[in-house]
Structure 1
Amino acid sequence: MRAPPVKSAVRVLEVLAFFERERRPQSLKDICDALGYPQSSGTVLLKNMTALGYLSYDRTRRHYFPTLKVAALGDWISHALFGEGKVFELMRDLHSATGEAVSIALQNDVHTQYIRVIQSIHPLRFHTEEGSMRPLTLSATGWMLMTPYHDREVERLVRRANVATPRMEDRQPLDLMLERVRQAREQGHAYAENIPIAGGATLCMLLPPTVHGRSVVIGIGGPVDRIRPQRQRLLDLLRAAAAAAPGRGPDAPAHP
């Protein structure tokens, strides 16, 4: 059972995520209205974040904005995960060649987490937030992330992912999931239509580097009417990207 969140910690992260979306100075009222905080609680929270150096405050305009201390908290992570950033260059190349959404995902317990996303340039598109997570069972990306595991471990992951899936109708049959993971393992890639989003399609495969022992999946997604007709071309592009990817990532032992 998941532990209940600590409200103050959650609110700090919500404020930072709000600034990441808006990317401009915000007033106390703007922040409280957007996040649904009482103004009294919001005042205390923002003053504390300012006192700790994570927000700056413009007294003339009464606006808050994150400081470079916030950026410094995470600017080492990309290097720690992917070294000099060759993987992100490959993402940009795929995006330039297709115009579709391109993502990098890692396993986070029984979830797929999209750690980097370049959104589609097409008017008709599906939006995936960076940092968002969904159960491993509910995307081709998740199926691909389970391919390095033995079937017994896949069974355990599927059962736990189903427990973490709120809606009963979204929980996946064990036999079906084992079949999907085995097929992805044999083919070296995974493809899905209408899951997790009706009308959407995803094509993905593992990259050679691992990150601290975890597999890395690169994927291309968009409306099924665009992805299906060019599936082979997109697969060829993914294979070329995987072939050009660097070797094992930093501090990365072999996957269990």
Structure 2
Amino acid sequence: MRKKWVAETKHVVGARPPLPDGVVKSAGRVLRILEYFDEIQRAANVVEIAGILKLPQSSSSALLRSLVAMGYLYFDRAARTYLPSCRVALLGNWVNSPLFVGGTALRCMEELQHKTGDAVVLAIRNGVWSQYIHVLQATSMARLQVTRGALRPLAASGTGYALLGTMEDTEVKKIAHRINAEARTGAIASVATEGLLATLGEVRRLGYAFTADLVTPGGAVLAMPLPVTDSGEALVIGLGGISEVQKKRRAELVVTMRETLAAYFPQ
């Protein structure tokens, strides 16, 4: 008898965000499915996918069958599991080629994970948020599970500070104004613009952002910017871990991160 799939119980930092307003459900769900496969890097059945992504099982089955029909997923009839095909691997391999050619950014993240044992995140700006678009989980014993796709306040997080630190103050003030406008709806916390500018001044001086217990109690992030992409989009790499551990290792982690980024992205 086939064993019933049971979800793993883990302490997860940054729940998978709901689909934004205006997103067509079927399109958003397809992308969430592909992102989930990239996160787990193994085959999965419809029960697991529907449960983790909180989707109706009937809708999940229909979407998975469609992806199989289009050649993006392979279906193992014996195991009744799905796995991305090579066609998925070819999508987007032309985007930002100087930064990602040969897997440069991803190999850099893997080396940081190996050297530090910490979770490594790649983040971009998404409106008034910093979003983790790729995550390598920590390998150390004391660790937090970080969710790919998680959103962090742009003006109140380590990766957010690192992203804003790449911008001019005039642009930062416009973003702060937008954040405060959205704060009136309760969608995000307001920000003190002058305090934010002072924080970013320190971030630029140091060349990195370090925050502890700011977004997640007990969690800390050290973040540094990567070279700007062809499209002008800023990205940052961050190391995430237990705040008390990160505080003690801060100087060591800064050196490791600087040396690793310099090796992969020489100026």
User: TM-score normalised by the shorter chain: which range applies?
Assistant: 0.7 to 0.9
Work out which of the residue numbers 170, 175, 179 in structure 2 matches 1:152.
Answer: 170
Q: How big is each residue's C-alpha offset from its partner over 1:142-180, in whole Å with a ceiling of 9 and x where there is no partner?
A: 112112322221111123345567857843322221211
RMSD: 3.0
Please state if 1:211 is matched with 2:235.
no
State which drifts further: 193-202 or 74-83.
Answer: 74-83
What amino acid maps onto 1:14 in structure 2? Answer: R
In 2, distance between residues paired with 1:42 and 1:92?
A: 31
Decide whether the 8 Å contact of 1:114 with 1:130 is kept in 2: yes
What amino acid maps onto 2:203 in structure 1? Answer: A
What amino acid maps onto 1:117 in structure 2? Answer: V
Residue 34 of structure 1, CA deviation: 4.5
In 2, distance between residues paired with 1:56 and 1:78?
A: 28
Alignment of 1:154-193 (within 5 A): 154-162=172-180, 170-193=189-212
In 2, distance between residues paired with 1:83 and 1:22?
A: 23
| Unaligned stretches of 5+ residues in structure 2 | 1-19
Alignment of 1:225-244 (within 5 A): 225-244=244-263
Please state if 1:123 is matched with 2:141.
yes
Aligned CA distance change for structure 1 residues 53 and 122 (closer, same or farther; 3 Å): same
Residue 135 of structure 1, CA deviation: 2.6
In 2, distance between residues paired with 1:102 and 1:36?
A: 26
Aligned CA distance change for structure 1 residues 36 and 176 (closer, same or farther; 3 Å): same
What amino acid maps onto 1:222 in structure 2? Answer: G
In 2, distance between residues paired with 1:168 and 1:46?
A: 33
Alignment of 1:10-49 (within 5 A): 10-49=28-67
The corresponding residue for 1:7 is 25
Please give the TM-score of this superposition, normalised by the length of structure 2. 0.76
State which drifts further: 197-206 or 129-138.
Answer: 129-138
Aligned length: 246
| Unaligned stretches of 5+ residues in structure 1 | 249-256
In 2, distance between residues paired with 1:90 and 1:229?
A: 23
Aligned CA distance change for structure 1 residues 179 and 93 (closer, same or farther; 3 Å): same
Identity of aligned residues (%): 35
